Structure 1
């Protein structure tokens, strides 16, 4: 299996990893991305979420 180099960067998360960290579903993460509440970049078919964006979302929801 080929794994992209960015998957080893600890500052970047997949949708699944972000969902686990936030305690919400993957579809909720995708919705937040669509609504621009979480910033991400698209690499192929995968959204890459930067941890800083996730931390900012956590701060806003507290």
Structure 2
């Protein structure tokens, strides 16, 4: 497909602004809460695995 310049640049910009710019979706509060839960779960797993990690480091 060969290049063709758009006949009216202002019209092209308006069309791009109207159809191709997507607004970001708001972040659901449940996703924010899930992130906090994941951080808490990882901290708990790290603490639960501490004795095993210390044993392996001692070897």
Q: Shorter-chain-normalised TM-score: which range?
A: under 0.3
Higher RCO (CA-CA < 8 Å; seq separation 6+): 1
- Asked which structure has the greater CA Rg, the reply is 2
Report the structure, 1 or 2, having the larger strand content. 1
Higher helix content, 1 or 2: 2
